[in-house]
Amino acid sequence: MTVGLLAHLMGKLPYRQLAGKAAEQGMDYVQLALSKAISDVDFSLGRLSPGLANEIGGAFAEHRVGIAVLGCYASLIELDDDLFRHHVDRFKEHLRHARHFGAPIVATEVGVPRDPARSKAYEERLNRALEELVEEAERWGVTIGLEAAQGHLIASADTLAATLERFPSSCLGVVLDPCNLLHAGTLRDQDEVMREAFRLLGPRIVSAHAKDLKRGENGGVTAAAAGLGELHYPLFWQLLERHKPLGFVTLEDVQTEQLAAAARFVREGRAAARRR
């Protein structure tokens, strides 16, 4: 069974060194956020090219490490016109060049509203952004992966499902992180939350993240490496393998010294789910 890693968790490094380090850690693929992970290239808007993307993708391929996902952390709900245009154009640039990296998916969370009173304006911005981005993704045959996260405009399986309903394109999918759908008040009901997420989003999942949640002394929850918390992973693996067998699973919130154990936890859990 395969497992990947958010590349920037290994540090911001020259791309050849980063590719080698991913291979040394036994990763099958990475989710690569260019400006967060690579130190020896300027990724300012307008600088990507097929040649540059091919060079970086080739460095990873030489080490037999795939680039499963390009992470493009772009807020798609900015109310400032210039900032909104910058983020949308940057995401489009990733979509145009993703195939040259060897990446089938470009992923993001959609952005955190700064003024709750303006929720309608944020929703309008997101719809406007996705109208452009879905068209661009269809043009280049690349999939957009949207990830729900606490505090973001899309914060739940329900809100993500509603967005997908507005944009039924096969080029718009879901990066599913079960921990992002939970908080201290819902952790005890996590089985129900996960089952509902797969009911609403299962057919549109294109990738998943693996981390964990631990209860703190103050009653809150904190993130931890997969296998070190309270997430009901046997159920998650069962649901994931039922809906999207052999799909991408990427480690998140893991320290270097925890990587081997976390990767083994994911591989063994997924393999056990497939044997059922």
Q: So where are the chain's domains?
A: 4-275
Contacts of 245 (CB under 8 A, 6+ apart): 274
221 has which bridge partners?
A: 215
CATH fold label, 4-275: TIM Barrel (3.20.20)
- Which parts of the chain sit beneath pLDDT 50? none
pLDDT at position 93: 98
129's enclosing H/E stretch is: helix 119-140
pLDDT at position 165: 96
Any idea what the Cα angle at residue 2 is, between residues 72 and 264, rounded to 5°?
A: 110
pLDDT at position 185: 87
* Among 252, 178, 185, residue whose Cα is nearest residue 220: 185
Strand locations in 77-188, DSSP E?
105-108, 143-146, 172-176
pLDDT at position 276: 74
Helix axis angle, 81-101 to 50-62, nearest 10°: 50
pLDDT at position 143: 98
pLDDT at position 275: 81
pLDDT at position 218: 79
Q: In whole angstroms, what separates CA 225 from the centre of its chain?
A: 16
The amino acid at 199: R
CB-based contact 119:79 (threshold 8 Å):
no
* Among 180, 247, 182, residue whose Cα is nearest residue 1: 247
160-193 exposure pattern, b = at least 16 Cβ within 10 A, e = fewer = bbebbeeeeeebbbbbbbbbbbbeeeebeebeeb
To which residue do tokens 């949207």 refer? Answer: 146
pLDDT at position 216: 80
pLDDT at position 196: 97
